[in-house]
Amino acid sequence: MTHNFPRHSKITPPVAIAGAGCYITDSTGKQYFDGSGGAAVSCLGHGDADIAAAMKDQIDKLSFAHTSFFTSPPAEALADLLIANAPSGIDRVYFVSGGSEAIEASLKLARQYFVETGSPQRTHIIARKQSYHGNTLGALAAGGNAWRREQFAPLLFTASHIEPCYRYRGKADDESDHAYGQRMANALETEILRLGADKVMAFLAEPVVGATLGAVAAEAGYFTRIREICDHYGVLLILDEVMCGMGRTGSLFACDHDQVRPDIIAIAKGLGAGYQPVGAMLCSKDIYEAIATGSGFFQHGHTYLAHPVACAAAHAVLSKIIETGLPSRATMMGRQAFTVIAINLWPASFYR
């Protein structure tokens, strides 16, 4: 008998009581190899004593101070470390408690940016089919996963969904990889023109699609063309690096591979490595300045923004990722895994 509301009421999950390295142990003593780190979360493994010590140290000093009144040393240090490693132009960090919250903050910042800069008619979000950006209503509305959206559709704002860059299913036989990538990117321009060139607020995409396509990177040159289109029509580029960010593609930010300069980036998962629920929305200096020199107030917020213990844990995690060179190890292991044939487990009916 449990009073927990489980993910699925017809499945009784084992009770996890301990974690060490790649293994989780349940209450019967059975060990599980946690190869995926949950949902791509536990990138340092379980039971890392350094992260636990950093959290304990912070709890002993200060466990909470509301961000309406205070900032804190761990939040400042973590923001500095992220910006020191972020794509050029990214200058500010807004800490939240997970990926969906990071996407909500990104969407609201994009909207407020246009309100403050005199383009309130820009309201449309364009994302891609079969994309997942989180389960809160705004993130779900932006996402293009038909199954996850279906029963909540009456509650969701209208977003456009263009085709993803997914060579396996979409490339024509007589088309080069590059030409396919450009064709998929140009679909953004077509959709912007259909909606009205000055009506679109932002394009939202994952540099490497995680949960809903299965580790699919775009063709080389795709995001360069996307950036060109966004610049041409004054549309913001929001990159969702909640799953692909924080080192697992071989660089701290996945978009570093394409050398693309996003306006807003959402991160989570590997940022806290499961030690704390933490995520962040990062934005460019220009966007921040528009708010800072305008109303001065980003009309958003949650009680646990920039939680000191979450930020202390994330700072310890990020420092460890950087100092131990985990991104280069991911590159090396990725080359080995490339030789393994990937099987797409989604049935074709999911792809629409």
Binding residues (CB under 6 A) for ligand PLP: these are 39, 98-100, 103, 132-134, 206, 210-211, 240, 242-243, 268
User: Minimum CB separation from ligand PLP for residue 243, in Å?
Assistant: 4
- Of 135 and 331, which has the nearer Cβ to ligand PLP? 135
- Of 104 and 189, which has the nearer Cβ to ligand PLP? 104
User: Minimum CB separation from ligand PLP for residue 249, in Å?
Assistant: 13
**Residue 245: Cβ within 10 Å count:** 29
- Of 181 and 210, which has the nearer Cβ to ligand PLP? 210
Q: According to DSSP H, which parts of 85-221 are helical?
A: 99-116, 137-142, 146-149, 167-170, 177-195
**Residue 1: Cβ within 10 Å count:** 2
- Closest residue to ligand PLP, Cβ-based? 99
Per the structure block, which two tokens stand in for 184? 């998929």
Residue 227 CB-density burial (10 A; 0-12 exposed, 13-18 middle, 19+ buried) = buried
User: Minimum CB separation from ligand PLP for residue 263, in Å?
Assistant: 17
* Partner residues linked to 203 by β-bridges: 126, 237
The candidate with the shortest Cα–Cα distance to 282, out of 127, 102, 136, 140, is 102
- Of 240 and 263, which has the nearer Cβ to ligand PLP? 240
- Of 105 and 236, which has the nearer Cβ to ligand PLP? 105
Q: In this structure, are residues 21 and 42 in contact, taking their beta carbons and an 8 Å threshold? A: no
User: Minimum CB separation from ligand PLP for residue 205, in Å?
Assistant: 10
User: Minimum CB separation from ligand PLP for residue 133, in Å?
Assistant: 5
Cα end-to-end span (Å), the chain = 40
